[in-house]
Structure 1
Amino acid sequence: MLRPKPFHFLFFYLFLVLNVYAQDKGNVMPLKKIITEIEQQHQVNFNYTEENVANFLLLPPKSSLSLEQKLQYLTRKTNLSFENLGNKFINIYKKNNDSKVICGYVFSNIDKKPIENANIHLNSITHITTDSNGYFEFEKGSKNIFFISHVGFMVKKITTANLDSQNCLKIILEPEITELEEIKTNPILASGISKNSDGSFEIKPKKFGILPGLIESDALQTMQQIPGVNSIDESVSSINVRGGTHDQNLFLWNGIRMFQTGHFFGLISVFNPNLAHTISIYKNGSSPFYGESVSSVVAISSTPETTEKNSFSAGINMINADIYAKYNLSKKSYIEISGRKSITDFVETPTYKEYFNKVFQNTTITDFSQNQNINYKSDKEFDFYDATLKYVQKLGLKDQIILDLITIQDNLKVFQSADSYNINKSEDNILRQQNYGGNLSWKRNWNSLNTTKINIYNSSYELLADQKTTTGNQIVIQENTVANNGINLENNHTINSKFSFHDGYQFNEIGITNLEQVTNPDFYRKTKDVLRTHALILEGRYNDTISRVILNAGIRLNYIEKFKKYIPEPRIQFNYGFNKNLNLELLGELKSQNSQQIIDLQKDYFGIEKRRWIISNNTTIPIQRSKQISLSLFYKKNDWLLDIENFYKKVNGITTASQGFQNQLEFVRTTGDYEVLGTEFLIQKKMNHFLTWLSYTYNNNNYHFSNYEYPSFPNNFELIHTISWAGSYEKNNFKIALGTKWSSGRPKTSPDISKIDLSDPVLVYNKPNNTNLNIFSQVNLSSTYKWKMPNGIQYKLGISILNILNRKNEISEYYRISSLSNSIEDVETFSLQRTPNLSFRVSF
């Protein structure tokens, strides 16, 4: 029997209502779960307290609704306030408590990201922290002030008296920038020597351990232990980095360019080892803020990284005596002085005698012409000194002024007398070399992210020889002077924790004068050249410790006024860590140089310091330009260290006069380039108090002179193979080091005997640098011991022996026609013989 249609309709309606009711009741959710779903759907973050969202059960809004519509729906259903901040953060609080709640978000000013776990200090005992979104809230009480702090950020003070509690605060914290020492591979070669992530080597003389043959942290002697750095004649005035000449290196002392680097004509550094705080050495990849060099950069800073207490020290060795003093004038200022002087005025020690014999062999000081009718006598006086002064003044919290002064001088007086045909003649001869410099710098920290530094500098150099002959009534005066001054502006900007950039401007003026005056016959020549250069600099730095990538890249744009010439110089430093033990490093640079040293005649300036500075004229004396790239792997683990580096370097614009030829090219004037391909290898192991290392360097270094009959031949400064080994032991206050250095002989040119008429000889040479000197080998030892007395005075005793085995090492050889015998004479120059040194120092 069929039921009536109205019954069917009522039955269907009742079923539908029950079904809908059942579905609605089943879909009711806790408010916290609804919030979580909205966060996932719209990529937002809700901030709330648990008590505000608890006990709410309701139907979720339709997923098709917009974020704003969903918030409006929840507001109607819960009577809560939902504050939307840029569709990113949503704050939830109760409407009836609005006037009593303070809430906010804390962000970093570096990357604009939320700061988690920032501390909100409400009083001495109560504080809360921010969540992962940087959010916080608390009930507004009687306190009108609270503080926000976090490690690495400056504390911020907030006043709540007049705040609108309807809206959450947006608080930005400024980073507290603190200069931290870069993590370095320390030690390398010795304590106090490390390698930075930018490829540079850094020496801290006050933390210096010990190296063979050194009892003091002489900057220029120490750097010769680094693979790729040599001195072809054992002189700190002839340091060759990857085949370059000494003048192609840039030496800076507190921002002042130094044109004289050695005392005793190269055997001692002019930089007081008891003064320097940091020495940075760049073989490649130097910052674009360094100009005027096509080889290495040696930057010495005597400004300490942290405030130091008053101190005084004095010392003496078998060559010189020195003093050092630092005195704090106030909490914001101090003065620092140092002075050093040779003791040769008072005593001729065995060390001095060995140095003297090394420096003056085969020069006009000892190489007088011999004639049966003439009896020569000679007496020599030699001394040197250097002095520095530093004054530091802090002005307020943001400014600092530093004044640096340095003076250096070497003096040689030679008294010559001759008896000729019962007639006595005597003359005084003078050779003086000096360098003065000054730098005034101002540094301002505008805020924690931006600093500016301006420095004005001047450097003056003079080389003077006044030579008189006792037989020919001839006077020869030679003078070479350099005046260098300029201004540097540098700005540093920190963008975030990973990226910073630096920009600046540099103006440099250099004037060089050369004077020659001769009597009998009369001759006078004086030349002066001035060059002004402007440079714009931009450098960016990226350091990501998570991905282990460090990238420094920049460019230096030089403009030379006289030549109206622009020279761009890009630089790059890239370091990638495969893991915490293995690093890959890529360095590259283009550089240029406008001044250089040349030798006109080998007997200029007594044949001792025969090089003179000149300025490029962009024609016969080109601007020197270099390009270099290197790739290295650096591995360290379990006190093992391995560093292998391959490099390519080419320098254009060199002149034959700058290379010190003593063969058929001595009087040839032409230009060309040299090209070096090499490998540097270092392996080191530290075992408790013992450190040992072995280094090897390979160089293939060739000249290219396209206008010469031999367009390509080995470089004068080529040392194909160099091997060094050292072992040192340091425990408590005792240090000892033993080491050896071995290198293949430098190139030389032999005469072609088959083409020389021995009855009337005229030198005829084989191809330039067709052979080599004998192997160079030397063993050195050094040791120091220090002790401290109860009254706080510290004493230090040191001893060193160079060339323990007293090996006779030839360092140069050339040929000349003897005027006495009318024959070919082979002239050899040798390195230091066995040379002891002893030092004593007291400090407090």
Structure 2
Amino acid sequence: MLSPKSFHFLFGLFFFVLNLSAQDKGKAVPFKKIIIDIEQKHHVNFNYTEENIADLQLVPPKKSLSLEQKLQYLAIKTHLSFENIGNQFINIYKKEHETHIICGYVFSGTDKKPIENANISLSAKIQVTTDSKGYFEFKKENDGLLFISHVGFTAKRIITVNSKPENCLQILLEPEITQLEEIKANAVLASGISKNSDGSFEIKPKKFGILPGLIEPDALQTMQQIPGVNSLDESVSSINVRGGTHDQNLFLWNGIRMFQTGHFFGLISVFNPNLANSISIYKNGSSAFYGESVSSVVAISSTLETAEKNSFSAGINMINADVYAKYNLSKKSYIEISARKSITDFVETPTYKEYFDKIFQNTTITDFSQNQNIDYQSDKKFGFYDATLKYAQKIGLKDELVLDLITIKDNLEVFQSAKVYDINRSENNVLRQQNYGGNLSWKRNWNRSNISKINVYNSSYELLGNQKTSIENQIVIQENTINNNGFNLENNHTVTSKFSFNDGYQFNEIGITNLEQVTNPAFYRKVKDVLRVHALILEGKYNDTLSKIYFKSGTRINYIEKFKKYSVEPRIQFGYGISKNLNLELLGELKSQNTQQIIDLQKDYFGIEKRRWIVANNTTIPIQRSKQISLNLFYKKNDWLLDIENFYKKVSGITTSSQGFQNQLEFVRTIGNYEVWGAEMLIQKKMNHYLTWLSYTYNHNNYHFANFEYPIFPNNFQLMHTISWAGIYEKNNFKIAIGTKWSSGRPKTSLNFSQIDSSNPVLVYNKPNNTNLNVFSQINFSSTYNWKTANGVQYKFGISILNILNRKNEISEYYRMSSLTNSIEEVETFALQRTPNVSIRVSL
């Protein structure tokens, strides 16, 4: 008696055979038409020789059958053998020759795409070529040596044996010449930093090694090591790229524009260094999908490229503590959380004290204490935090949804009091700076050649200053708020292995409000401006590894609703591999920017964060426009690296109030431009575990203000000569770095003392920026050590010292009239003194 299991098997087999037999009732059609229908229905490709299927006709299989059922039906009816490879390729053979068929696919070893017209040789008489799918086959009687070759690829030899057609060969050919991307270095300045074919620098924080003075891969501190990137006052909120101001840089975090970039009013980056997955930095030739910037682009992404296991880490240094956690909710989704907070609420470390003295020198905070010498008391509270959340979800095989949220806040409260000649005086100051952001993105892979990305974002920024003074019982409130939201659509199309193009649309709305309110005397002013911008983008890329040409060109067309104005912004990136070791690169771009930061008064917001964001009005505050071109030679051989870049850049539409003048132009309001040209050089050598590099930058940077009595003079941000050196040693878990930075002093304006009456002094200046400060020189040190316990817990200990020699570096100098003595004061501001820092981190 049959068992239930055997019965069910025979029962199913009976109906399957019955179903196959039922096909005979239809009308016979050519066999080639049947397999074409199957290709379209099941998205597969058949490989065959015409002689095997010539004159074949039969009744088509039922359309409702699965692919395997159809193949079984065809095998029974035609007595042919059907080999299904991954539900993509199906090979057809005659059964009598199964053991004498050699077949295979030839693919590129770099992109795994089929190689057409590859030559396959078994002997002088047996030779075939691959088709468009990279497929080949031939009859074979004996074992032998198979030779595969194609122009531009390294030839390969394979020993073959008689085998069944199910064992089709999968052959990868490697390019014979070095690809353009591989000419670029994988370690520039430090491990984890590389330079790409499009001219950008990329930082991978998780692979980051070490740099002098840094024990964490702080994005904005690290980018200052790149030639052409500086901060004249050591602040990450004052980064100058090729002579531009900080607000002329575009900072993006997961597609969200960030208006606040620094904690502690500029000494620490707001971007958690333990969170970012990749950081891309463009000095020139940025993609047409980046707008609202006339200088550099810094794009930070924390989205993981590949799936990673659950992880948790926590760390603390002498300024802040932080935690990070990633948890996989399923095979297709994960959540990622990070948070960081200052420890200044609990302890004032030596690092904190140095930072505090640096930030608050020559502000209303220190002005108050310096003017009072009797019974002075002060109570200050300072703290900051940042937090992020990411949720990523893959939907099916083609869709991915990602939500990113970020919040940043700095808060300062200072109460000061003093008693002078029996008169009590006090001030209560509150300064708050915060940035919130969110981005929801959706990505769909329509097929291998087409991808779409859509994201909706919002960024909100607030700077609030509130001052209460006992004298005249006065209250001063200042606010600068931003609400920025938008929509981006980007489509990526791969046409061939060499050519692809992107197209898209962007909508951006930004509203900026500035408020000033004073009591006694009463004053109130509130101004709000809104701009809406539409942009169409088209960008194409051609990358030919055989001719060693990389070419990417794009155009951005902006339309500003309020002004009814169009602007066209082309971008270009061209690279040519002169040899395997030498690459030539040409970059160019036209860009524009509708927002900027200005300074109304140097004492705004207590003189600490005195810049406020405003929107262009197309008259007194024009749209800023830039044009830039650069030519680069990049050489790499035997662990030597040489990078030389010459550039020219011009930015028009700047205002004097955006440049931070503290001379005769401080209260002048006029429009002009700056023009900068120069050269940047980096030479680097790696020897086993030791890496050393030397960089040099030359900048010639001038203002042009046509309506001013001195129309041309040096730019406030000009550092004509900058030299940096570093020596880095990394072995196993130990890393150590020491380096120095030297730069010529920034420009300053001196007084014309010959025209000043000492009995009734008035500030009389020479030509703007007619002289320079003393040179800036600093030596920095850092070291880290990792170790792992038996239970898998990893520890990292780090120590750094900024300005080891405790050199007193002057970073600014200006003059002012003293109301107490009716005399001229020379005010100097200095960089950080010797500043130590220690960190420890635990990772699970």
TM normalised by structure 1 equals: 0.81
Q: Please give the secondary structure, in 2, of the residue aligned with 1:502.
A: strand
Distance 1:225 1:624 in 2: 27
Task: Render the CA deviation track for 1:528-553: whole Å, top value 9, x for unaligned.
Answer: 00000000000000000010000000
Cα distance change, pair 510–181 in 1 and its aligned pair in 2 (3 A): farther
Cα distance change, pair 762–393 in 1 and its aligned pair in 2 (3 A): same
Distance 1:94 1:235 in 2: 75
2:405 pairs with 1:405: yes
Distance 1:695 1:600 in 2: 37
Q: Please give the secondary structure, in 2, of the residue aligned with 1:463.
A: strand
Alignment of 1:601-612 (within 5 A): 601-612=601-612
Conservation of the 8 A alpha-carbon contact between 2:631 and 2:646:
yes
Alignment of 1:243-322 (within 5 A): 243-322=243-322
Distance 2:384 2:347 in 1: 14
Distance 2:180 2:462 in 1: 39
Hey, what does 1:17 align to over in structure 2?
none
Hey, what does 1:214 align to over in structure 2?
214
Distance 1:640 1:371 in 2: 57
Conservation of the 8 A alpha-carbon contact between 2:529 and 2:615:
yes
Which runs of no fewer than 5 residues in structure 2 stay unpaired? Answer: 1-46, 59-79, 115-130, 136-169, 171-178
Conservation of the 8 A alpha-carbon contact between 1:373 and 1:421:
no
Distance apart, 1:150 and its partner CA: 5.6
Q: Please give the secondary structure, in 2, of the residue aligned with 1:366.
A: helix
Hey, what does 2:390 align to over in structure 1?
390
TM normalised by structure 2 equals: 0.81
Alignment-mate amino acid for residue 781 of structure 2: L
Conservation of the 8 A alpha-carbon contact between 2:180 and 2:545:
no
Conservation of the 8 A alpha-carbon contact between 1:100 and 1:139:
no
Conservation of the 8 A alpha-carbon contact between 2:431 and 2:464:
yes
Conservation of the 8 A alpha-carbon contact between 1:417 and 1:470:
no
Q: Please give the secondary structure, in 2, of the residue aligned with 1:365.
A: helix
Q: Please give the secondary structure, in 2, of the residue aligned with 1:344.
A: coil
Distance 1:653 1:231 in 2: 22
Hey, what does 2:705 align to over in structure 1?
705
2:477 pairs with 1:477: yes
Hey, what does 2:833 align to over in structure 1?
833
Distance 1:238 1:223 in 2: 12
Distance apart, 1:138 and its partner CA: 3.0
Alignment-mate amino acid for residue 441 of structure 1: S
Cα distance change, pair 708–382 in 1 and its aligned pair in 2 (3 A): same
Alignment of 1:10-29 (within 5 A): none
2:198 pairs with 1:198: yes
Distance apart, 1:520 and its partner CA: 1.0
Distance 1:414 1:135 in 2: 77
2:97 pairs with 1:138: no
Cα distance change, pair 429–371 in 1 and its aligned pair in 2 (3 A): closer
Which runs of no fewer than 5 residues in structure 1 stay unpaired? Answer: 1-88, 102-121, 128-133, 155-169
Q: Please give the secondary structure, in 2, of the residue aligned with 1:235.
A: coil
Distance apart, 1:638 and its partner CA: 0.1
Distance 1:518 1:659 in 2: 26
Distance 2:296 2:575 in 1: 20
Cα distance change, pair 181–277 in 1 and its aligned pair in 2 (3 A): farther
Distance 1:137 1:277 in 2: 47
Alignment-mate amino acid for residue 822 of structure 2: N
Distance apart, 1:472 and its partner CA: 2.8
Cα distance change, pair 755–313 in 1 and its aligned pair in 2 (3 A): same
Hey, what does 2:559 align to over in structure 1?
559
Alignment of 1:578-597 (within 5 A): 578-597=578-597
Hey, what does 1:630 align to over in structure 2?
630
Hey, what does 1:749 align to over in structure 2?
749
Alignment of 1:93-112 (within 5 A): 93=51, 98-99=55-56
Alignment of 1:149-164 (within 5 A): 151=107, 152=112
Distance 1:682 1:153 in 2: 36
Hey, what does 1:438 align to over in structure 2?
438
Cα distance change, pair 94–508 in 1 and its aligned pair in 2 (3 A): closer
Q: Please give the secondary structure, in 2, of the residue aligned with 1:805.
A: coil
Alignment-mate amino acid for residue 223 of structure 1: M
Distance 1:367 1:790 in 2: 56
How many residue pairs match? The answer is 710
Distance apart, 1:599 and its partner CA: 0.2
Alignment of 1:603-752 (within 5 A): 603-752=603-752
Alignment of 1:321-340 (within 5 A): 321-340=321-340
Conservation of the 8 A alpha-carbon contact between 2:82 and 2:92:
no
Hey, what does 1:540 align to over in structure 2?
540
Distance apart, 1:636 and its partner CA: 0.2
Conservation of the 8 A alpha-carbon contact between 1:741 and 1:777:
yes
Alignment-mate amino acid for residue 138 of structure 1: Y
Alignment of 1:162-173 (within 5 A): none
Q: Please give the secondary structure, in 1, of the residue aligned with 2:314.
A: strand
Conservation of the 8 A alpha-carbon contact between 1:418 and 1:471:
no
2:185 pairs with 1:230: no
Q: Please give the secondary structure, in 2, of the residue aligned with 1:601.
A: coil
Distance 1:466 1:123 in 2: 84
Q: Percent identity?
A: 79
Distance apart, 1:139 and its partner CA: 1.8
Distance apart, 1:372 and its partner CA: 7.4
Distance 1:137 1:514 in 2: 75
Conservation of the 8 A alpha-carbon contact between 2:82 and 2:93:
no
Distance 1:124 1:313 in 2: 53
Q: Please give the secondary structure, in 1, of the residue aligned with 2:220.
A: helix
Distance apart, 1:570 and its partner CA: 0.1
Distance apart, 1:99 and its partner CA: 4.0
Distance 2:95 2:230 in 1: 72
Cα distance change, pair 347–172 in 1 and its aligned pair in 2 (3 A): same
Cα distance change, pair 522–580 in 1 and its aligned pair in 2 (3 A): same
Distance apart, 1:186 and its partner CA: 1.1
Conservation of the 8 A alpha-carbon contact between 1:592 and 1:623:
yes
Which structure has the greater CA radius of gyration? 1
Distance 1:319 1:181 in 2: 43
Hey, what does 2:521 align to over in structure 1?
521
Cα distance change, pair 268–371 in 1 and its aligned pair in 2 (3 A): closer
Task: Render the CA deviation track for 1:323-373: whole Å, top value 9, x for unaligned.
Answer: 000000000000000000000000000000000000000000111276679
Hey, what does 2:31 align to over in structure 1?
none
Alignment of 1:454-473 (within 5 A): 454-473=454-473
Hey, what does 2:175 align to over in structure 1?
none
Task: Render the CA deviation track for 1:176-205: whole Å, top value 9, x for unaligned.
Answer: xxxx99644110100000000000000000
Distance apart, 1:418 and its partner CA: 3.0
Distance apart, 1:423 and its partner CA: 5.0
Conservation of the 8 A alpha-carbon contact between 1:100 and 1:140:
no
Alignment-mate amino acid for residue 346 of structure 1: F
Hey, what does 2:794 align to over in structure 1?
794
Distance 1:314 1:678 in 2: 43
Task: Render the CA deviation track for 1:47-102: whole Å, top value 9, x for unaligned.
Answer: xxxxxxxxxxxxxxxxxxxxxxxxxxxxxxxxxxxxxxxxxx9977499x85499x
Distance apart, 1:417 and its partner CA: 1.8
Alignment-mate amino acid for residue 383 of structure 1: G
Distance 2:511 2:372 in 1: 47
Distance apart, 1:580 and its partner CA: 1.0
Distance 1:454 1:784 in 2: 41
Conservation of the 8 A alpha-carbon contact between 1:729 and 1:736:
yes
Hey, what does 2:761 align to over in structure 1?
761
Distance apart, 1:377 and its partner CA: 2.6
Q: Please give the secondary structure, in 2, of the residue aligned with 1:367.
A: helix
Alignment-mate amino acid for residue 240 of structure 2: N
Q: Please give the secondary structure, in 2, of the residue aligned with 1:354.
A: helix
Distance 1:577 1:100 in 2: 55
Alignment-mate amino acid for residue 222 of structure 1: T
Distance 1:460 1:774 in 2: 40
Cα distance change, pair 580–465 in 1 and its aligned pair in 2 (3 A): same
Indicate the RMSD between aligned Cα atoms, in angstroms: 2.7
Alignment-mate amino acid for residue 443 of structure 2: K
Distance 1:477 1:527 in 2: 14
